[in-house]
Amino acid sequence: MLIDALNSATLRNPFETLGLQQDADGKWRMRAWMPGAKSVKVLPLKGGNEICTLSCITPEGLFESEIDVKEPFHYKFKVEYPDATIDVIDPYQFRDEAFYGLSTMYEKPENIYKTLGAQLIEVEIDGVKVRGTKFAVYAPSATCVSVIGDFNFWDGRRHPMARSLMGHWVLFVPGIEQGNRYKFEIKDPNGNRLPHKADPVGFYHEQYPSFASIVCDQKNYQWNDSKWIKSQLNDKLRRPMSIYEVHLASWKRKQDGSSLSYRELADELVAYVKNMGYTHIELLPVMEHPFSGSWGYQPTGLFAPTSRFGSIDDFKFFVDTCHQNEIGVILDWVPAHFPTDAHGLARFDGTPLYEYEDPRRGWHPDWNSLIYDFGRDTVRNFLIASALIWLDYYHIDGLRVDAVASMLYWDYSRKEGEWVPNVNGGNINYEAVSFLKWFNEEVYRNYPHAMTIAEESTAFTGVSRPTFSGGLGFGFKWNMGWMHDSLEYMKEDPLFRKYHHGEMSFSMIYAYNENFVLSISHDEVTHGKHSLLYKMPGDEWQQCANLRAFLAYQYAHPGKKLNFMGTEIAQSSEWNHDSQLEWWLLQYDKHQGVNRLIKDLNTLYKSERVMWENDYDPKSFAWLDVNDAEHSVFAMLRTLHDKSGNIEDEFVAVSNFIPVPYIAYRLGVPRPGTYKVVVNTDDKQYWGSGFVTGPEKMVSSNISWHGQYHSIVLDLPPLATVFIKRIGD
């Protein structure tokens, strides 16, 4: 019976049941479902006299009467409750508005976030503007779905939604404005009620305990970054990129221990990053996530900036402020897996709608999370849309894709028998490969100012090569091998580094296989791995000297640069996501020195084209000295050539990784002239020993050395990296 379906929230076809309906005999009947109401009157939408008072058919709240009209009309109800009388515009007269856009849903991925979720719309009916929210959610196996919220007392009986042929449940509810909280009440294929679900395409969500989605307007914010966006229409491979990786909650905190808001970060973080000379900020995931301890890598709201730090407009203000200060913003994006929280995507409609059903494919043992089904078109479209919205609505400059290796291999972190081979019996997930290629094509096709970066830890071929040549299509790839090998080398006692010399230089064997970013990320300074400073051997001075020499070596090495926050102040402790950086350390000369060095390195790096313009051109790099294991010395030459192939500029870096100076070190240079040390990490201003390298200006001699026709001589400081530049003939 109808009343049973209404009362148990199992009505599947509300547009054929509620509102103005025509009987088989051609007569019109008005039916309203108003639990708890005393009376319901029908009035014209535009205003005028009462048309009729509906009869109460059942005590549960079903009102119904025959109406003497010849055709459908638009109306509103005047509903009397025991404690109030309110006007209600019946949502069940807006069938076309509810279903609008679904037919073109999958023509373009961005149609998902422009159609599904909670869309604020305004329709004009009989000269009356009706504002409200169109709710739409994909749950094809559900037996029924209702939208619930503060506006209906979280009562799943009051607003049953209608199902489309494609499995979307829709309803336009007049009067629902920005700020209203909502969720979906879903019944599984057996009619059992699931835990209330947050909106998968929601733009904003509350924190624990409700995790409710919130209606918000994406059109409010007025951007002021058009100049920046235009300036980014260039070849990122040939631009400087020094990235400051940040976890917003723990960068800096207020005196009461709470995190800074987006707007406070726009003031303090942006000013700091600009002063330090970084070109980009990379944010650990800001997509909504229930557990702060996941750092954002277990997201449940891929379309929503976390409400921990403010509103969506506050987040846009942060990005806008970055752009106005010529700082790009990169976001970590997690399409590899998602958590099992009851309000999230897990078995969303009672079935594995987003995840692989077989746990040998759909369960991630490392993170106790579910893996997206990359072979399902609806999931692929959903994920692509969740990437594009950040470039579209939030003006993000790049997406760094987390855990790519776990997506590419069926046997990632799995033992024999715990995974299912592909159709050819191998371990490559062809569905994930196809998805990642499509993702990169969509980003670069629609947002040519943006870039994509892969965190991929294996030797998978062509990660940062175009899809038309067989690659995955990423713009860049984190160089995890360089990070591992170089840190392993630096951990060694300098006395034994000569036995590990190849670890430091091995990266150049494969340096041009991909467009690498040299990353020293958050993963290297947590979970018992020690801070970067305390990875270094020796006493207090030697630890800091090692750190300074290593950081300068990173800047000299081909590839873009990334360092996690705290590196630039020589943080002593491991990163703690529940605290803040140890800013108090800057009262000490040691930490001030490292901070000053990073600022100087960034300034020099951005000003010298030779250090970044040809990062991925093998002709622009040469080892001058890579075989001196006995002294643990590395010398590299970076060159910039003109169109005729002649050297236009050069830059030399020499690293001495033992605590003993190297006197009268002869260094080959490509051209005769006068040279000058422009950075010495052993300088006193960096808390170094102040060891003098020689005369301020060094004039080359015609003595061939290191494969070059000319050479200069200097003294190498202990545990230091020295940058040398030609300043004239």
What residues are labeled active site? 402, 455
Looking at residue 401, the DSSP 8-state letter turns out to be: E
Calpha distance 596→569 (Å, rounded): 9
Burial of 230 by CB count in 10 Å (0-12 exposed, 13-18 middle, 19+ buried)?
A: exposed
Q: Which of 325, 329, 294, 320 is nearest to 308 (CA)?
A: 294
Q: Where are the beta strands (DSSP E) in 167-208?
A: 168-174, 181-187
Q: Please, are residues 210 and 203 in contact by the beta-carbon 8 Å criterion? A: no
With left for phi above 0 and alpha for psi between -120 and 50, is residue 436 left, alpha or beta? alpha
Helix (H, G, I), strand (E, B) or coil at 503: helix
The secondary structure of residue 701, as a DSSP letter, is B
Rounded-to-integer distance, Cα 275 and Cα 232, Å: 21
**What is the helix (H) or strand (E) element at residue 148, kind and residue range?**
strand 144-149
Cα–Cα distance measured from residue 7 to residue 711, given in angstroms and rounded to the nearest whole number: 90
Would you call 481 helix, strand, or coil by DSSP?
helix
3-class state of residue 460 by DSSP: coil
Q: What string of DSSP letters covers 320-369?
A: HHHHHTT-EEEEEE--SEE---TTSSTTTTSS-SSB-SSHHHHEETTTTE
Closest CA to 532 of 578, 486, 593: 486
b/e string for 110-124 if b means 16 or more Cβ within 10 A? bbbbbbbbbbbeebe
Strand ranges, E, within 446-571 = 451-454, 476-478, 516-520, 560-564
Classify each residue of 294-303 as buried b or exposed e, where b means 16 or more C-beta atoms within 10 Å of its C-beta: bbbbbbbbbb
Neighbours of 177 (CB within 10 A): 13
Residues 6+ apart with CB under 8 A from 723: 552, 556, 604, 651, 652, 653, 677, 678, 679, 680
The DSSP bridge pattern shows strands 398-401 and 451-454 to be parallel
| Other Cβ atoms within 10 Å of 313 Cβ, number | 18
DSSP string of 256-280, one letter each residue: TSPBPPHHHHHHHHHHHHHHHT-SE
The total of other beta-carbon atoms located within 10 Å of residue 359's CB is: 14
Cα gap 59→650, rounded to integer Å: 87
H helix or E strand, kind and range, residue 591: helix 589-607
3-state secondary structure of 696: coil
Contacts of 400 (CB under 8 A, 6+ apart): 282, 330, 331, 332, 333, 452, 453, 454, 455, 478
- Tokens 């997690």 correspond to 334
- Within 8 A by CB and 6+ apart from 104, the residues are 111, 115
Distance CA 454, CA 401 (A): 5
Query: Helix or strand or coil: residue 171?
Result: strand
